Amino acid sequence: MPSSFPYFLIAMVSLSLAGAQEPAIRLGMIGLDTSHVIAFTRILNDASREDHVPGGKVVAAFKGGSEDVEASYSRVDRFTQQLRDEFQVEIVDTIQALCEKVDAVLLESVDGRPHLEQAKPVIAAGKPLFIDKPMAGSLQDVIEIFRLAKEANVPCFSSSSLRYYPSLTELMNRDFGDLKGAISYGPCTIEPHHPDLFWYGVHPTEALFAVMGPGCVSVSRVHSANTDVVTGLWGNGNTGIVYGLRTGHTPYKVTVFGSKAVIAQEGGGNYVPLVREIMAFFKSGKPPVTVRETVEMFAFMEAADISKREDGRSISLHDLIRKEGGSWLLP
C-alpha cells in the first residue's frame, strides 16, 4: 500500500465495520385490532425508549378485524391509523403481500378464530411465526397450525406475556422444595365466540403451565356467574388450579405449593420480556415453548368447557387431544 495512503481512513473503516450491527429483521403484523400491536411496535421500533428491544422493526401490517367481536371492530381502525401515522408502518391489502415484504410475522388478531386461515399463507411463505393469545379459536385449530408448521419446517410458537413476567421467574427461582401444586388466578371475562377460558383465562392458564409444565392428564371445572375454578390433575399426582375472576379486583398472581414452603408471586410485569423472547425466537428459529405444552394448555381450557357442560365431570386431556387430531403429539 502506498506510504501516502491516509491511515486514519483505514482506522475509521475498521471501527465502522467492527461496530456494524446485523440488519434489523423486517417484521410484519397481522390483525391490528389489539393494543398489543401498538405496544409491541413501540418497544421494537423506538430506539430512544429505555425498554427498547433491538434487532427487529415492524415495517408492514395487514389490518384484519372481526365484525362480530366488539373488541375488534371498535378498535381496529384506530390502531391501524396509529400504526401508520405514528410509526410509518405500511398497511397492505393481503397477507400474501405482507409476506413478500418481511422476514418474520407476528399474528396479533384479537379474535382467535381466523388465526388458522391467517397462519396458512405465512407458513406457505416459510416465514417464522409468533401467534399472540389466544393461539386459535379451538384446540383443533391449534393442533392444525402446529401440524402445518411442522410439515413445512416453519418455526412457530405462541405465548401470553405472563409466562415471562420477572415476578413469575423470580417465584420459580425461590427455594420451595419439590413442586406439589399451584394456584393461578386472574381475570376470566368471557367472549361468546370462544371457549370461556380462551379470552382472558388464557393468561392465568399460561402462568399455571409455566410453573407446572406439561403432564396434565385430566380437568374438571366448577362454574358460577362470578368465578371459575378449573382443576387439573398431573400424571405425577400434582394438582394445578386456575381461579378465574369476573368481578371485583382481578390481579394476576400465582401461589406455589412446595415440600419446603408455600410462596406467592410478588409484583407483576409487562410486555418487554415477551418481546425479547419473540426476537430471540426469530433469530434462532427455536421456539421457547414446546408444541406439547401449548397444545396441552389449550386442551386444558377446552376440557374446562366440556366439564362445565357436563356438570363438572373430569375430562381426559389425552382423549380430547386425540379426538381433535393430535394423536401425533401424544407420548
Per-residue 3-state assignment (H helix, E strand, C coil) for 54-90? CCEEEEEEECCCCCCCHHHHCCHHHHHHHHHHHHCCE
Distances (CA, A) of 171 to 168, 211, 263: 5, 9, 7
Fold entry, domain 7-158: Rossmann fold (3.40.50)
pLDDT at 248: 86
Tens of pLDDT, residue by residue over 222-243, are 999 999 999 999 999 999 999 9
Count of C-beta atoms within a 10 Å radius of residue 327: 11
pLDDT at 319: 98
Q: Where in the chain is the domain with CATH 3.40.50.720?
A: 7-158
pLDDT at 12: 43
201-211: average pLDDT: 98
207-217: average pLDDT: 98
When the pLDDT of each residue in the chain is averaged and rounded to a whole number, the result is 93
Grid coordinates belonging to 300 = 386444558
Band (7; pLDDT cuts 50, 70, 90): very low
pLDDT at 10: 42
Tens of pLDDT, residue by residue over 132-143, are 999 999 999 999
257-285: average pLDDT: 97
- Distance of alpha carbon 271 from alpha carbon 263, whole angstroms: 24
pLDDT at 21: 63
Rounded to 5°, angle at Cα 274 from 268 and 280: 150
28-57: average pLDDT: 97
Band (8; pLDDT cuts 50, 70, 90): very low
- Distance of alpha carbon 146 from alpha carbon 116, whole angstroms: 10
4 has pLDDT over 90: no
Fold entry, domain 162-273+295-329: Dihydrodipicolinate Reductase; domain 2 (3.30.360)
11 has pLDDT over 70: no
245 has pLDDT over 60: yes
Q: Where in the chain is the domain with CATH 3.30.360.10?
A: 162-273+295-329
Grid coordinates belonging to 311 = 356438570
51-79: average pLDDT: 96
64 has pLDDT over 60: yes
Amino acid at 283: K
Residue with cell 393468561: 203
